[in-house]
Structure 1
Amino acid sequence: GLVGPSGSGKSTLLKCLGAIIEPTSGRMVLGQDVIYDNGWKIPDLRALRRDKIGFVFQAPYLIPFLDVTDNVALLPMLAGIPNAEARKKALALLTALDVQHRAKAMPSQLSGGEQQRVAIARGLVNRPPVILADEPTAPLDSERALAVIRILNQMAKQFDTAIIVVTHDEKIIPTFKRIYHIRDGVTHEEAGEGRGID
């Protein structure tokens, strides 16, 4: 988990890690691939984001004219997975996040918490090696927030996925395996590790 005061650069760091904005310097490696080394080293950043990085933002950014299932299934479809298989993957995640009963609903028909759980399913659907989550539990109640963190942790274990969560949500900070604070533009690991949640 990544925590720090407002304006400390947490979200900017997450956007750099997600290849949304370009860092000013440094080096980023994902698996065996050098992503950035004082310049982008990957020719297709869109494919990188689609296939290797799952995003979960504070705002859900759902596509208003697609139903819940297709909002989640769109990424695998864009990656070439057949529509029926992509929808099956989407429904499995919607069930895990307890929104399967809204599978055919349009985003405008969902509560804020339901929209966020659908957005989380979308971030997980391609089983990326990295998930970047910017305040993913902000609109959720305590029970749902912990359920979301539990699912993210299960995904990390099951698929060997790294998850970086930026948050101010005090109730989920103790669930992180590692906690980093940004202070004065520098990231510091907190002494000791979080307990994690299973």
Structure 2
Amino acid sequence: MARNGNYCAFYVAEPFNSGALGAHATKDFCYYNLFRSWKGADSTFPFSDSHALTYNVRDGSNWELTLKPRLRERLRSSQNVVLFLSSDTANSRALREEIDYAINDQGLPLIVVYPEFKTKESLLTNGSLKQSVKNLWSKVPVLRDSIDNVPSLHVPMVKSLISSALKDPDFKLSTKTTASVYHYKI
């Protein structure tokens, strides 16, 4: 199986409801939809949606028999994970599973997108990630506890920087760099 997809991980309230007042009302899901709209409007935007590679699941699907296997299948076809991490992110069962399996089983590099930050500079203090950025990692404890196991690139919600991150061979499974926390320099 070719690993050419970008797996987007984001928080949605459980139980998941794909209706208009369900996932679409969850901010982190809206960021994922923004990626899809960027790709729809600009075919050169380097986003290959791993969620589009397998058929959709229905509300109320069984976690162990349907949902969890589908997440893992999508992750196994991915070259990296794009995680949307914001103050609205919560430690849901699906997000824990996605991050744990991606990092600790598949070794997938992470591109962590912070929608509440709008510039490279806003993520940094004295050339390092701000403590307020690192504090967001605790929203998903498996992320906080495993982040040093894979290379992770931390970027604000800026299309040009995200495009660069998606193209960067250091954050693709087959060509990944050394496991560490990375960010763009000012």
TM range (shorter): 0.3 to 0.5
Give TM-score scaled by structure 2 length.
0.34
Give TM-score scaled by structure 1 length.
0.32
Q: Which has the higher contact order (CA 8 A, sep 6+)?
A: 1
